[in-house]
Homo-oligomer: A and B are copies of this chain.
């Protein structure tokens, strides 16, 4: 059983030491072993969990989602339907957020396209912010 310090755990999992401590404080990971100096020492299974968490975060899952996903991962009697349901709901949220951002971008692009962008003060972008555009409340 290889034990590593928090800095090494951070280096191998890509999770900052700050965040590792935070995950512990909110109960997302188990408190690790401590040496007699009270230094945290992580075992391989801890490193696995941290990697799991980092990859989940990379996919945009919230801590609450990750909590459930980790539980499911540990539960050998899980049903894949439960995992899939979490993923599908998350995909929906991601798509909604992306669509919202894309909508803003589209609106701004069309405004910017008709803005001269020179020394003159006239600007359809400011006009749009000035009074609401019909169709874009």
Binary contact track A62-85/B, C-beta < 8 Å → 1, others 0:
000000010011011111110111
Q: How far is the CA of A55 from the CA of B81 in the complex (A)?
A: 41
A3 close to chain B: CB less than 8 A: no
- Mask, A106-123, CB within 8 Å of B = 1, is 011101100111111111
Q: State the oligomeric state as a number of copies.
A: 2
A130 within 8 Å of B (CB atoms): yes
In the complex the two chains form, what is the Cα distance from A16 to B83 in whole Å? Answer: 38
Check B60 against A88 for contact (C-beta < 8 Å). Answer: no
Which of these, B55, B88, B123, contacts A83 with CB under 8 Å? B123
Chain B residue numbers with a CB within 8 Å of A111 are 87
Residues of A within 8 A of B (CB): 48, 51-52, 55-56, 58-60, 69, 72-73, 75-81, 83-85, 87-88, 90-91, 94-95, 97-98, 101-102, 104-105, 107-109, 111-112, 115-123, 125-126, 128-132
In addition to A51-B132, A83-B115, 12 A-B residue pairs with Cβ atoms within 8 Å of each other are A59-B104, A73-B129, A78-B123, A79-B119, A80-B117, A80-B118, A80-B125, A83-B125, A84-B112, A84-B125, A94-B108, A95-B105
